[in-house]
Amino acid sequence: MFSEPFKIIFRRFVDRLTESGFLIISVALGVGAFAASGTLFVNVVNQNDELLNSPTYKEIVVSTRAEKETMEFPVEETLLSDDTILTQSDLNISQMIPSIDYAYIMNNTRLKMINESFINDSDNFQHSQQIKAINESSSNETHIDENSQQMELEDSFLDENIDDALNDKSIVKSDADEISGYEITFEFFDAWNLSTEYGSLFSTNDYSSTNSLIILGSELAKTLLDDDEDLSSLIGKRLLAMQGYQTIVGILEDSNSTYDYQFFLPYNDLANNIGFSQLRKNSMNTQLRFSVSDSTQLESVSSMLEQSFESEFGKNQVIISNPRFEAEQTVARNAGISILILLLAISGLFISSINIAHILLSRTLRMKKHVGILMALGATRKQINKLFSLEAIMIIVLGTVLGLFIAIPINRQMQSALNLTINSNWTILVSAFVSSILIFSFTLIPIRRFDRIKPADAMRVG
């Protein structure tokens, strides 16, 4: 009994292929727009929450040098005072401000790697030999001008044959020409809730030690592994770099952040190792970071820090910045745009659903005589409703699949336009399912048309 009516529905679907095609396209556009905008809204909410809860936007940065565009006050044509030098001891200001949870230094730094490609480069190799000669003719350490592209080297790997070092299995080599990371003080790891998967964090003595120690992010560590090794095998090995051997003491757990691709060195002021001019140059790159858990306290803490540093160095001798204000502006902008797009998509989905219901109603009325015949042959109203439901489901399923192909590229473009890094693909599927259910609920209006009609009335033409 069911197979023959199904053939009738299928034939009418094929006979009105253009109309059926427009129905599928209407469903696809409604589903695609809603799925893309729904996913965008969810991703914006998640990223905004992650952004505002990030330690980056719960801290105040103090430095002696900043780009003009990031300054919070007009640039004055005055030179910094000669004694404006930020050191680790300046972090002690945090002890006078209870709202500050962590105070640390995090300076950008890089390591130049020594590998086979470095040796094969004749200029690099000649440069390394020149440095070796300087190192051998001087005391343990030599201070080299940065502008001449020379570096301060320890006498570690330079006392050995470089070829032997490259072949030594206990020495780790990187295929990269250079890797980036940070010099940090001990509270950095607590502020960012970072811990090691293998090895350990720096001890208190490591920050004052002359030993070259290094902690690796998980993804950076993976690039240093041989095929038959695991991450734990790197602990205790030495990383070969132009700055000397760096002993690997820890590998961080995955943090799903850029820190997974960085390395970390213990920071110290180097006051006992370099002259005043070099200390001043280093301090110009030093940023003191003061982190708070309650973001509402940022402005008051910033004001207290400004007063403290003004009393020590003078007015406008240090730059105090609060990046949270800019983050809140970005959050408000992205939230507003995503809500507007979502409302437009909901409106489009509602209009699309009404149009689909109207077209299906027209198709249903044209099948009135066929329905009367089926009911006269013994088909129940439930079976009739099931047939029309099957037609609606077939159209909605095809439209939803096409809508997904529309939603994915549109969502990617919107994500890129708002600089979103969070992307949950499963949200597209959930949004598409929700929108298809909504459209199907509208198709029930024409389906229920025959609930109370009599077979004789259904067979009557007109």
Listed as ranges, residues in the chain with pLDDT below 70 are: 1-9, 12, 65-84, 116-168, 269-285, 365-381, 446-462
User: Which parts of 261-401 are beta strand (E)?
Assistant: 263-266, 287-291, 319-321
Contacts of 230 (CB under 8 A, 6+ apart): none
Give residue 128's pLDDT. 53
- The backbone torsions φ and ψ at residue 291, rounded to the nearest 5 degrees and listed phi first, read -105, 140
CA distances from 348 to 355, 417, 435 (A): 11, 22, 11
Amino acid, single-letter form, for residue 397? V
Q: Model's pTM, two decimal places?
A: 0.66
Q: State the burial class of residue 248 (Cβ atoms within 10 Å of its Cβ: 0-12, 13-18, 19+).
A: buried
The CA distance from 2 to 43, in Å, is 45
Give residue 337's pLDDT. 93
Give residue 403's pLDDT. 92
Give residue 67's pLDDT. 43
The CA distance from 391 to 383, in Å, is 13
N- to C-terminal Cα separation, the chain: 27
Token pair belonging to 325: 């204000």
- Per-chain mean pLDDT for the chain: 78
Domain positions in the chain: 3-52+328-459, 102-291
- The backbone torsions φ and ψ at residue 6, rounded to the nearest 5 degrees and listed phi first, read -60, -40
Token pair belonging to 58: 């719960």
Q: Quick check: 207 and 186 in contact, CB under 8 A?
A: yes
Give residue 330's pLDDT. 87
Give residue 188's pLDDT. 94
